[in-house]
A and B are shown apart, each in its own frame.
Chain A
Amino acid sequence: MVDLSIILAGFSDAFSVINLLFVLFGVALGQFVGAVPGIGPIMAMAIAIPFTFALDPLVAISFLVGVNKGGLVGGAVPAILMNTPGTPDAAATALDGYPLAQQGKPLKATKMALFSSITGDTFSDIVLITVSAPLAILALKMGPIEIFALMIFTFSVLAGLIGTSLIKGIMAAALGLLVASIGSDPEHFTPRLMFGYWELFDGLALPSVAIGMLAISEILRRMTEAHGTMRAAITLDMSSDPDDRRVTWAEYWGCRYTMLRGATIGTILGALPGIGSTAAAFMSYAFAKASAKDPDSFGKGNLHGIAATESANSAVVGANLIPLLTLGIPGSVGAALIISAFMIHGMQPGPLLFEQQGRLVYGLFGAMIMANFVNLWVGQLGLRFWVKVVSAPESIIFSSALLLCFVGVSMATNGLFGVAVMLIFAVLGYLMTSFGYSIVIFIIAFFLGPRFEKSLAQSLALTKGDLFLIYESPVALALLIMAVVSFFWFLSRGKNAQG
């Protein structure tokens, strides 16, 4: 168990002035990019990671968490004002947010989104802080065989849950593992699939692959659809009735059960790999509508609709870190990016993190709680400004984002070779999304690839080359059975034929 002094030291680190400033900067940046349709917090995190090299690990990770949290709040702004979600998570918010804005209450809608987002986020952070250390102790009892089985289970769940086709999900995971195997072999350190490029001896650089697949490929996609025009957004009318521009305590309190349910759904789904915040938001919305006395009012500007979706999608952020911190397995792309930040700063996420870097982990928890308060404060002050940001032209946004990606990857990989690799993965990501292959599964498999191979090698060593001896470990056997059952369950649901 982590010593109380380490916990307190971690929290005191989190509340240092420099950390507070970077959390503030991260949240403001996140809200800004979340409000710009086409960028979003994931792309912003990917671009920002190389710029955090020079920072202290806690400051860097707190900054990225701030970007992620702020992005979810910012993503609701274009959903409400333009019916164009800044992030996929906010798509469900538009269902009631946009009609409410059309009724002349855009500020009420955005403020309800802000308050419910922070409520859900805080709820999941408290769950994360409470359960992650005990879970990490349990996870420490897992050996290589169990870890290997857990990864097989994770891949089967990811392939089944993300995207529309199980077969394509498996292929995306296989491609991610293939790309992860480029470089020196982890056991013999002999060159593998390097084609004479010795720059690849240490494997493909995380920033090149992550930024190429997540940021540049998305920018390429958006650029092919862009027209260089300004979008029409609902403007704020500051002379309207004050009650239409704020959320009263009675209105907030009236949504408490909706938010609590949304936060619970978001936390549970966020803790499971692969499901993600978009599914949580829509599920919470469906539950809220089903349990409402006036379900017909949903879709017409009901505050409960906004509260349900925003509390759920924001609750996923904290819960996503549960499998990351306890097992070292990212449950989403956002978590995969956080993992890459950990690795760039020389840390391996997983149960040992609590033992070896307990102070950092509790510093991160402190920063997450602080980020929620900062999110509320920045949101209250910035909403009027973000409303203007939604209409910024794509041309300047995309060209600037591209420059930042070039510079960031060049700094991270010490040269333009990494930038060229980034462009190759951007094209690969563009083609994969065009043909319906999930880049989320690809990225997570790429991150897990080295660990997957290492645990397989260790398992073979333990079983003296006979993997069928895996039945001697009940946990591994149970995980493998669950993997097979989930595979056939997804197959029976016809995902591979539904497109």
Chain B
Amino acid sequence: MHISADRLSGAFFLLLGLALYFVVIPAQVETPEGGNLAPQTVPNFISFVLIICSACLIVRPTDHETRGARSFVLGGAYAGVLALCIFVMSRFGFEIVAPFMSLAIMLMIGERRPLWLLGGAILMPLLIWFLVTYPLGRALP
């Protein structure tokens, strides 16, 4: 069965709006006494807007077509690699991880020419390291 992309995103935002209003905002916003504007007023108003708009979108979706499943899988894979790199970078630092990250991304894109791979994995991280460490005088992650 074909599900409209708008109905899918509308359902997500409807749930998000409801969760915000009933669960998240009461739990995550402190409510002090006094003042002109309570801290939860704006988030509550936003959750209302999300609920109403997402309901409208579900009832009356546009004919927007989203990307194919392959794009989402690939996008997820790239995001996963980047998340892994951030985690490993927090353990071993930029200097160690950057060449491997660059190489992995280039290989995933489909680059197979050794010179370009070498340039991307060695020269570019080296150039960035030099730029940040010397002219800018800042620390790398």
Q: Is the CB of B86 within 8 A of A436?
A: no
Residues B57-104 near A (CB distance < 8 A): 57, 60, 62-64, 66-67, 70-72, 74-75, 78-79, 82-83, 85-86, 89-90, 94, 98, 101-103
- Select one of A175, A400, A407 contacting B102, CB under 8 A: A400
Take A393-B116, A394-B109 as given contacts and tell me if A430 and B75 are in contact as well, using a CB distance cutoff of 8 Å.
yes
Binding site for B on A (CB under 8 A): 51, 54, 164-165, 167-168, 170-171, 174-175, 177-178, 181, 185, 187-188, 190-195, 216, 220-221, 223-229, 393-396, 398-400, 402-404, 406-407, 410-411, 415-416, 419-420, 423, 426-427, 430, 434-437, 452-453, 456-458, 460-461, 465, 496-499
Task: Chain A residues near B85: list those with CB within 8 A.
Answer: 406
- B5 sits at the interface (CB 8 A): yes
Q: Is the CB of B102 within 8 A of A423?
A: no
Once the chains are docked, how many angstroms separate the CA of A461 from the CA of B35?
Answer: 9
Once the chains are docked, how many angstroms separate the CA of A487 from the CA of B65?
Answer: 25
For residue B59, give the distance in angstroms from its CB to the closest CB of chain A: 10
Q: Can you name 19 A-B pairs with beta carbons within 8 Å? A: A165-B64, A167-B53, A170-B53, A178-B43, A190-B30, A220-B78, A220-B79, A224-B71, A395-B106, A399-B102, A399-B105, A402-B101, A403-B102, A404-B128, A407-B94, A416-B86, A416-B141, A430-B75, A499-B62
Q: Is the CB of A187 within 8 A of B37?
A: yes
For residue B58, give the distance in angstroms from its CB to the closest CB of chain A: 10
Take A164-B62, A224-B71 as given contacts and tell me if A54 and B30 are in contact as well, using a CB distance cutoff of 8 Å.
no
Q: Is the CB of B28 within 8 A of A411?
A: no
Take A402-B105, A427-B79 as given contacts and tell me if A496 and B60 are in contact as well, using a CB distance cutoff of 8 Å.
yes
Per-residue 0/1 for B32-66: is the Cβ within 8 Å of any A Cβ (1 yes, 0 no)? 10011101101100110110011011001011101
For residue B2, give the distance in angstroms from its CB to the closest CB of chain A: 15
Once the chains are docked, how many angstroms separate the CA of A226 from the CA of B111?
Answer: 10
Task: Chain B residues near A177: list those with CB within 8 A.
Answer: 42, 46
Task: Chain A residues near B43: list those with CB within 8 A.
Answer: 178, 181, 192-193
- Pick from A171, A187, A426 the residue with the most CB of B within 10 Å: A171
User: Which residue of B is nearest A55, CB measured?
Assistant: B136
Q: Is the CB of A395 within 8 A of B37?
A: no
Task: Chain A residues near B53: list those with CB within 8 A.
Answer: 167-168, 170-171, 174
Per-residue 0/1 for B118-141: is the Cβ within 8 Å of any A Cβ (1 yes, 0 no)? 011100110010001000111111
Q: Is the CB of B32 within 8 A of A193?
A: no
Take A419-B141, A430-B75, A498-B62 as given contacts and tell me if A403 and B124 are in contact as well, using a CB distance cutoff of 8 Å.
yes
Take A221-B75, A223-B105, A403-B124 as given contacts and tell me if A411 and B132 are in contact as well, using a CB distance cutoff of 8 Å.
yes
Take A171-B13, A399-B120 as given contacts and tell me if A187 and B35 are in contact as well, using a CB distance cutoff of 8 Å.
yes
Take A220-B79, A395-B116, A434-B71 as given contacts and tell me if A192 and B39 are in contact as well, using a CB distance cutoff of 8 Å.
yes
For residue A493, give the distance in angstroms from its CB to the closest CB of chain B: 13
For residue A34, give the distance in angstroms from its CB to the closest CB of chain B: 20
- Select one of B5, B39, B113 contacting A436, CB under 8 A: B5
- B19 sits at the interface (CB 8 A): no
Q: Is the CB of A423 within 8 A of B50?
A: no
Q: Is the CB of B124 within 8 A of A400?
A: yes
For residue A149, give the distance in angstroms from its CB to the closest CB of chain B: 16
Q: Which 6 A-B pairs have the closest CB atoms?
A: A228-B110, A499-B62, A395-B111, A185-B39, A499-B63, A410-B141
Take A190-B30, A465-B36 as given contacts and tell me if A227 and B110 are in contact as well, using a CB distance cutoff of 8 Å.
yes
- Select one of A171, A187, A220, A403 contacting B49, CB under 8 A: A171
Once the chains are docked, how many angstroms separate the CA of A171 from the CA of B132?
Answer: 39
User: Which residue of B is nearest A415, CB measured?
Assistant: B141
Q: Is the CB of B36 within 8 A of A460?
A: yes
Once the chains are docked, how many angstroms separate the CA of A229 from the CA of B113?
Answer: 10
For residue B65, give the distance in angstroms from its CB to the closest CB of chain A: 8
For residue B95, give the distance in angstroms from its CB to the closest CB of chain A: 11
Task: Chain A residues near B139: list those with CB within 8 A.
Answer: 411
Q: Is the CB of B9 within 8 A of A435?
A: yes
Q: Is the CB of A435 within 8 A of B64?
A: yes
Q: Is the CB of B124 within 8 A of A457?
A: no
Q: Is the CB of B79 within 8 A of A499?
A: no
User: Which residue of B is nearest A177, CB measured?
Assistant: B46
- Select one of B28, B72, B78, B119 contacting A396, CB under 8 A: B119
Q: Is the CB of A396 within 8 A of B125?
A: no
Q: Is the CB of A406 within 8 A of B94?
A: yes
Task: Chain A residues near B46: list those with CB within 8 A.
Answer: 174-175, 177-178, 181
